[in-house]
Amino acid sequence: MPLYHDDDQTMLKDSVSEFMKNEAPVSHLREFRDKDCKDGFSHGLWKQFAEMGFTGMLASEEDGGLGMGNVEAGIVLEEVGRNLTPSPFLTTSVAGVTALNEAGKAMRDQWLPGIIAGETVLGLAIDESVKFRPTQIAMKAERSGNGFKLNGRKQFVVQGGSADMLIVAARTGGSAGETDGLTLFAVEKDAAGLSADAARLVDSAMAAHVEFDNVEVTADAVIGEVDQGWSVMTKMLHAGQTGAAAEMVGVGAGAMDMTIGYLKERKQFGQVIGSFQALQHRTAHLYSEMEIARSAVLKAQQLLDEGDKGAPLMVSVAKAKAGRATNLAVREGVQMHGGIGMTDEYDIGFYMKRDRALSEFFGDANYHANLVAEMSGY
Amino acid sequence: MPLYHDDDQTMLKDSVSEFMKNEAPVSHLREFRDKDCKDGFSHGLWKQFAEMGFTGMLASEEDGGLGMGNVEAGIVLEEVGRNLTPSPFLTTSVAGVTALNEAGKAMRDQWLPGIIAGETVLGLAIDESVKFRPTQIAMKAERSGNGFKLNGRKQFVVQGGSADMLIVAARTGGSAGETDGLTLFAVEKDAAGLSADAARLVDSAMAAHVEFDNVEVTADAVIGEVDQGWSVMTKMLHAGQTGAAAEMVGVGAGAMDMTIGYLKERKQFGQVIGSFQALQHRTAHLYSEMEIARSAVLKAQQLLDEGDKGAPLMVSVAKAKAGRATNLAVREGVQMHGGIGMTDEYDIGFYMKRDRALSEFFGDANYHANLVAEMSGY
Amino acid sequence: MSDLEAFRADTRAWLEENCPPEMREPVRDEDDVYWGGRNASFKNDAQKAWFEACVAKGYTVAEWPKEYGGAGLSPAEGKILKQEMGRIKARPPLSSFGIWMLGPALLDFGTEEQKLKYLNEIARGEIRWCQGYSEPGSGSDLVSLQTFGEDKGDHWVVNGSKIWTSYADKADWIFCLVRTDKSDKYRGITFMLFDMASEGVSTKPILLISGSSPFCETFFDDVKVPKDQFIGEINRGWDVAKYLLGHEREMISNMGGGDGSGSLGKAVKPMLGEDAMGRLDEPMLRAQLAELDVEALAFKAMAERFMDELKARKNHPATPNMMKYVGTELNKRRHELVMAAGGSEALEWESEATGGGAKPRGWLRTKANSIEGGTSEVMLNVISKRILELPDA
Amino acid sequence: MSDLEAFRADTRAWLEENCPPEMREPVRDEDDVYWGGRNASFKNDAQKAWFEACVAKGYTVAEWPKEYGGAGLSPAEGKILKQEMGRIKARPPLSSFGIWMLGPALLDFGTEEQKLKYLNEIARGEIRWCQGYSEPGSGSDLVSLQTFGEDKGDHWVVNGSKIWTSYADKADWIFCLVRTDKSDKYRGITFMLFDMASEGVSTKPILLISGSSPFCETFFDDVKVPKDQFIGEINRGWDVAKYLLGHEREMISNMGGGDGSGSLGKAVKPMLGEDAMGRLDEPMLRAQLAELDVEALAFKAMAERFMDELKARKNHPATPNMMKYVGTELNKRRHELVMAAGGSEALEWESEATGGGAKPRGWLRTKANSIEGGTSEVMLNVISKRILELPDA
């Protein structure tokens, strides 16, 4: 498969791009931020995502979805990133659906229709400390009657306050540091003993600290196999990581384009500042970095879709490289805008904020670079 | 003490600068390189160093030296660096004399007069692997009669082939990784069982692999206390590290000045290339980096001379920062010179080569940055 | 005992007696800083006592001459006072743009009459000043400013607007660059002083990406300024401004890593944990923190050298530009790592647990460091032209 | 079975039969590379057999038309041949600037007569070519070249000198930019071809900081060049040169990290050891190696995308400039880390144990990557102007 978008994908990209530009540009984010909306996204827009067919892209046709892959999801995410669109697409339709695709038919029937219809939102309850360390999960799920009793705390559960269901990673065996003994559960948000405390993030998204106080779930709530949650979780995380990387590429490209536009307009010392060679070289370097990141992300998407055994390495490369490149894009963006870039009134700061949040999501560039070293054997 | 050279030091700097420029400029290095000289330095020049009073700067006045400190030695080393002067000054008169200052009177009387007279050269036999890891020394010195028997291999013994005496770090107790149990020995180069195999380095200096095959030394050969060599060695290494950092600052400043000179001369596209803003900003950044490095090195020298307990941290900061900054200076130097900078005929490449060798000497920037983290407790 | 040693002993005793324990605590919020001015009030008695003791001793502006409200200390004595205050962590008794910015300009360019009036007011914290340099659109090209003062004989009528005027909404007076001759870009600017209570002056706070800020936009609508309220010469205000910019950069140049804020790696280790080797349990981050510590400690040495050389007048006059460039870039880098170490918790923008998002707001605020007071790009231009003497294009 | 599948099967069988086992070993030194030319000799029978088999099949220049000595393969077939040769690690049968540089220019700009003659000679390895572009003093500003061809009716008389002419001392012919009109910088250059055995041509090898090199200085002292030995049009040689520079950058752009050289961290671990956690026992270096791997693998993806887009003609025409910039900078970075990992042993310049200083020489050689074929600075200029469309000053 050539490493570029084929004709269908290019058409999809055009229509997604048009949609986001019209329905959910940066002004949409600003509006929701200024409204102090407690969900952090628009349910109306989420419905529109459904009408466009985005919500169920990754669900199988058998389950009512489109049976598409990570390349297609990445196309949506890049535009989401470019427009800083707030939505539960990454958590629900990319990571969440990827996990549910590994679940039994009953669970799929329970959750996928609502997701596909743009009515259901999922949250991912993975992190237990300030950094992403999935193998270190310690939260307990003890056998209790026919099911399990969950106790513990999760944090950085994006959209955790508005989610209808949380995918919760907990330990049914083993101990922190091991991959065996982890189990994934689908926990409904109104389960007794579950409480979520939502906090606004720097990018205006909402993320919750979630407390599990003897939350009882039946054996049917298990996604995949008991103690073997690592395998489902890995699939879910790879989709989420690649998706976050794609969104970051959109964020970086959006910030870069806005900055290049500014460089062509803004005058100082009687010259358009884009004519200053020092800024030209830095911008050209930034462009190169973004192109490398974009290539790595597309490669990771393709390898994941092909089920290639090299995919995990490339997923980490993509998340790490997108992290480094987009961080550069937003830093250069604010700096090259000068004073105006520091004002809330101007949009470039939003890009810096979204980049910051995405960089932490599913492991930051440091986490993934370290994984690359580990996977490479050193 | 203010953090700049006082009047005496400024006078010293002027006279050293004049001396190096006249007696040992870069053409001197080239001449020795082209001669394929097996010592890697000029014994005649070493005599001149003695006449100038450099060789015994750090020896006490009681021992016939000048009783100066690391600041003064650094002044000589910066000019050595700037002129790429090949000499045994750093190993012999800085690190070596610092170690000998901790020795008993008999040993000082044995070695210092020759050093001060510019007749004696020392080598430091520390490294046992390709990287500097002094705590990992494993070479054995076993008790044997009244003295010790040394067995093992050392490498990167700069001027080890021409040295009259080697300062050898070996283990009389403890095991690799421990600082207790190390002992420093003064071993004469014609000791039975000692063989040195000299190799030319990238910067045209000579360094030896040294083999110790049952080399017998008496108890009088111990510098400091048996098993407590770490404390003498630490002093020696700190002087060597700070000295190497000072020399690197000279190398970096020399490369930078040569490059700035070239930028003001070379024309491309009808303009002096120094007028291109992209190069101006890179050069201004480089200048800033060199000034930071210079400040760190001076601070380390002063703290060492004051016996301040903060000295070790600053020594590592100085070696690390000088390493990073000078590496930048030589890379920018070659790149900004363009094709001509790649030719052996032009001097800028010599700066890159010397920087490379100095960066490895007494621990590279990575080694010292890691030490900074360790000393800071993380 | 040398004179300086005696001075140190005296100072130590005086501080012991006059600096209340509450004034030796770190500054926690804006309320802990005393800015003076017409509408100022003290947070508590300790703040008031400390301020008044310092005013009486001349220690709000210790190195200024006594006749202008200072204590007339020599640079060496001034350094000792600073060291001794640092030792007991004494808070500055008075924070003031009058002290930091206007004062130095007055000392150099003011008439004796101006010095006696304004410097004493500043020293006693009676008048709070703000600075009116930048304008919307002027940016790095400061001399392109458009605010115009029309000559009306005994007064000017000033129209225009300024931006980035810190605390303009709280200041009593402004020192302000105003164009008084449109025919000459550099030699057509006057350095004016006027009362912010004048008719026609209004201010509007600026919201930053980090949240609310002391910065304002300030508007002048037919503001009358008497013709004797300027410093230096009419149409030669750029000389004063340039001098002050250099001075400002000297001040700013000490921030960022050289502020004794200590090892970030050490600070975050308890939160992030350690690995089996006792190292911070984030190997990549640890490496970045180690490099940061190297940079920060090296920069601190340069800041010390810079201050020492400054006192001995050994600096190249453009050195503050380099210090400003390096210091602000380093501070941005530090805060990027604060965020990386803080992880998801450092993303929280308003939560109580995070002090209302202190980390992300602090991080975003640092992004202005390399813009305000001269961008990094302008600093690099200055270094390359004035220090390295690279030619113009 | 599709046509392409059939072609793959045939190719595999043909290679199995015709590529001797010795030709499937990695290239160890210069002798293992066959460059062809008048004075060429084969290192061994296997090299000769493999070369001759390829010539007969048209596989020295597989995608060139059959009438010019190629096999007339489609791009898809060409890719399969490359993949299959890669699979068995077959060496290229012929290395040649004729194939890489002159050939593409001839295919685009040559007359039918020129193509038939020169391309066939190249395909059969009969004539070894070198390139005469740069001059001492011209540097990045290539069009400032001074070598002059004086029009003498039926021939030019060429005087001047070229630099960085790789293997000029071994080449049979040169393709060379010569000024034929001094009044027009761009439209006064002719792309000439001539025999290096002509009277008045001399060469001198250039010693690099990395040691001896294939580069030469080449001098022309009244060299007669017949008036029919040029490509394109007289005085329009810059068009051909520009086309070739783009082509050259395409080739160069694939180097550096994307060459399948694998993880450096993994390679150096056995030498440097591991810590208690099984990590490379140099924590700072490990972090740098991890970043390098990220960069190298990401670059490899970009190189793949670039080649795929190139085949589908989807690239911006200036993309090779970006590839060249990124690839060469990455390669320099890789070799800095090779040196850091190699430690003191990697400093040895001549010792046998270090392969005669292979590491330091290789490291120093990479420093030219970002200079030769267009400096990184020129690449950044091109990206900013042609791709990002930033304005001229």
Phi, psi torsion values for C185, nearest 5 degrees: -60, -50
Query: Is the Cβ of B328 closer than 8 Å to some Cβ of chain C?
Result: no
* Helix (H/G/I), strand (E/B), else coil: B154: strand
Q: Does domain A7-121 have CATH number 1.10.540.10?
A: yes
| pLDDT tens string D131-183 | 999 998 888 888 899 999 999 999 999 999 999 999 999 999 999 999 999 99
d(C-alpha C339, C-alpha C343), whole Å = 6
pLDDT of residue D261: 67
Query: Is the Cβ of A201 closer than 8 Å to some Cβ of chain C?
Result: yes
Of all residues in chain A, the one with the smallest CA distance to B284 is A278
pLDDT of residue D245: 82
Measured in angstroms, the CA of A301 and the nearest CA of chain D are apart by 12
pLDDT value at C260 more than 60? no
Q: Considering chain D, what percentage of its residues have pLDDT values greater than 90?
A: 85
Measured in angstroms, the CA of A110 and the nearest CA of chain C are apart by 31
pLDDT of residue D79: 86
The residues, ordered by sequence, that sit 6+ positions from D330 with a Cβ below 8 Å of its Cβ are D256, D257, D295, D296, D299
Helix extents (H) in chain B: 7-23, 26-34, 43-52, 70-83, 97-100, 105-116, 229-263, 277-306, 311-337, 348-360, 365-375
pLDDT of residue D258: 43
- Residue A373: C-alpha distances to residues A316, C328, D128, D267 (Å): 10, 32, 44, 12
pLDDT of residue B333: 98
Q: Residue D129 — pLDDT band, cuts 50, 70, 90?
A: very high
pLDDT value at C259 more than 80? no
Q: Residue C141 — pLDDT band, cuts 50, 70, 90?
A: confident
Task: Flag if D312 and A3 touch (Cβ within 8 Å).
Answer: no
Task: Flag if D283 and C288 touch (Cβ within 8 Å).
Answer: no
pLDDT of residue C261: 67
pLDDT value at D205 more than 50? yes
pLDDT of residue C258: 44
d(C-alpha B18, C-alpha C185), whole Å = 46
Measure CB to CB from residue C390 to each of B263, B313, B365 and give the nearest one.
B263
Strand partners, A272: A267
Phi, psi torsion values for B172, nearest 5 degrees: -100, -5
What pTM does this model have? 0.94
Q: Residue C256 — pLDDT band, cuts 50, 70, 90?
A: very low
pLDDT of residue D253: 57
Q: Residue D280 — pLDDT band, cuts 50, 70, 90?
A: very high
Of all residues in chain A, the one with the smallest CA distance to B282 is A278
Measure CB to CB from residue D276 to each of C276, C286, C290 and give the nearest one.
C276
Q: Does domain D239-387 have CATH number 1.20.140.10?
A: yes
CATH topology assigned to domain D129-235? Butyryl-CoA Dehydrogenase, subunit A; domain 2 (2.40.110)
Task: Flag if C314 and B378 touch (Cβ within 8 Å).
Answer: no
d(C-alpha D149, C-alpha D200), whole Å = 13
Query: Is the Cβ of B131 closer than 8 Å to some Cβ of chain D?
Result: yes
Contacts of residue A274 in chain B, CB cutoff 8 Å? Answer: none
Are D132 and D218 a contacting pair, CB within 8 Å? yes
Q: What is the 3-state secondary structure (H, E, C) of D63-123?
A: CCCHHHCCCCCCHHHHHHHHHHHHHCCCCCCCCCHHHHHHHHHHHHHCCHHHHHHHHHHHH
Q: How far out from the chain centre does Cα C104 lie? A: 13
Contacts of residue D393 in chain C, CB cutoff 8 Å? Answer: 393
Of all residues in chain C, the one with the smallest CA distance to A206 is C348
Q: Is the dihedral of CA A8, A11, A17, A19 positive or negative?
A: negative
pLDDT value at A167 more than 60? yes
Q: Rounded mean pLDDT of chain D?
A: 93
| pLDDT tens string D51-62 | 999 999 999 999
Q: What chains are in contact with C, requiring at least 3 Cβ pairs below 8 Å? A: A, B, D
Highest mean pLDDT among C1-10, C216-225, D254-263: C216-225
What's domain A124-227's superfamily in CATH?
Butyryl-CoA Dehydrogenase, subunit A, domain 2 (2.40.110.10)
- Best C376, C384, C385, C386 residue to mutate vs chain B (most B CBs within 10 Å): C384
Contacts of residue D286 in chain C, CB cutoff 8 Å? Answer: 283, 287
Of all residues in chain A, the one with the smallest CA distance to C381 is A278
Measure CB to CB from residue A2 to each of D308, D322, D377 and give the nearest one.
D308
**Hey, which CATH number is domain B230-375, 1.10.3720.10, 3.10.450.30, 3.40.50.2300, 1.20.140.10?**
1.20.140.10
Domain ranges of chain C: 3-123, 129-235, 239-387
How many residues are recorded in chain C? 393
Tokens matching residue D175: 């393709």
Contacts of residue A280 in chain B, CB cutoff 8 Å? Answer: 278
Q: Residue C382 — pLDDT band, cuts 50, 70, 90?
A: very high
Task: Flag if D388 and A283 touch (Cβ within 8 Å).
Answer: yes
| pLDDT tens string B104-118 | 999 999 999 999 999
Domain ranges of chain B: 7-121, 124-227, 230-375
Q: In D, residues 252-311, which contact A (CB 8 Å cutoff)?
A: 263, 265-266, 268-269, 274, 279-280, 286-287, 289-291, 293-295, 297-299, 301-302, 304-306, 308-309, 311
Task: Flag if A287 and D387 touch (Cβ within 8 Å).
Answer: yes
Q: What chains are in contact with D, requiring at least 3 Cβ pairs below 8 Å? A: A, B, C
Query: Is the Cβ of B155 closer than 8 Å to some Cβ of chain D?
Result: yes
Element holding A155 (H helix, E strand): strand A147-158
Of all residues in chain C, the one with the smallest CA distance to A282 is C377
pLDDT value at C253 more than 80? no
Strand partners, B197: B209
Measure CB to CB from residue D163 to each of B278, B331, B339 and give the nearest one.
B339
CATH topology assigned to domain C3-123? Butyryl-Coa Dehydrogenase, subunit A; domain 1 (1.10.540)
Mean pLDDT of A12-33: 96
Rounded to the nearest 10°, the torsion over CA A54, A60, A62, A65 is 0
Mean pLDDT of A34-56: 94
Contacts of residue B369 in chain C, CB cutoff 8 Å? Answer: 287, 290-291, 293-294
Query: What one-character-per-residue DSSP string does B179-197 give?
Result: STTEEEEEEETT-TTEEEE
| pLDDT tens string A202-242 | 999 999 999 999 999 999 999 999 999 999 999 999 999 99
Task: Flag if D348 and B269 touch (Cβ within 8 Å).
Answer: no
Measured in angstroms, the CA of D50 and the nearest CA of chain B are apart by 36
Are D128 and D171 a contacting pair, CB within 8 Å? yes
Q: Residue D252 — pLDDT band, cuts 50, 70, 90?
A: low
Q: What chains are in contact with B, requiring at least 3 Cβ pairs below 8 Å? A: A, C, D
Task: Flag if D276 and C279 touch (Cβ within 8 Å).
Answer: no
Q: How far out from the chain centre does Cα D241 lie? A: 15
| pLDDT tens string C156-201 | 999 999 999 999 999 999 999 999 999 998 999 999 999 999 999 9
Measured in angstroms, the CA of C131 and the nearest CA of chain D are apart by 33
Looking up tokens 């940055």 gives B369
d(C-alpha A192, C-alpha B254), whole Å = 72
Mean pLDDT of D258-284: 89
| pLDDT tens string A298-309 | 999 999 999 999
Tokens matching residue A184: 């994934």
Q: Residue D254 — pLDDT band, cuts 50, 70, 90?
A: low
Task: Flag if D367 and B352 touch (Cβ within 8 Å).
Answer: yes
Q: Which of B114, D364, D308, D2 is nearest to A298 (CA)?
A: D308
Q: Residue A54 — pLDDT band, cuts 50, 70, 90?
A: very high
Measured in angstroms, the CA of B255 and the nearest CA of chain C are apart by 14
User: So what's the ipTM on this one?
Assistant: 0.95
pLDDT value at D257 more than 50? no
Phi, psi torsion values for C205, nearest 5 degrees: -65, 150
β D155-163/D189-195 pair status: unpaired
Residues of chain B with pLDDT under 50: none
Are A252 and A322 a contacting pair, CB within 8 Å? yes
Q: In A, residues 267-296, which contact C (CB 8 Å cutoff)?
A: 268-270, 276, 278-279
The residues, ordered by sequence, that sit 6+ positions from C156 with a Cβ below 8 Å of its Cβ are C149, C150, C178, C180, C190, C192, C224, C225, C227
Measure CB to CB from residue C342 to each of A130, A204, A269 and give the nearest one.
A130
Query: Is the Cβ of A33 closer than 8 Å to some Cβ of chain D?
Result: no
Beta strands in A1-135 (DSSP E): 122-125
Element holding A154 (H helix, E strand): strand A147-158
Of all residues in chain C, the one with the smallest CA distance to B2 is C308
pLDDT of residue D30: 82
Measured in angstroms, the CA of B92 and the nearest CA of chain A are apart by 38
Of all residues in chain D, the one with the smallest CA distance to B268 is D141
State which amino acid sits at residue D41: S
Task: Compare D247 and B69 and report the one with higher pLDDT.
Answer: B69
Q: How many CB pairs under 8 A join A and B?
A: 10
Measure CB to CB from residue D277 to each of C276, C284, C290 and give the nearest one.
C276
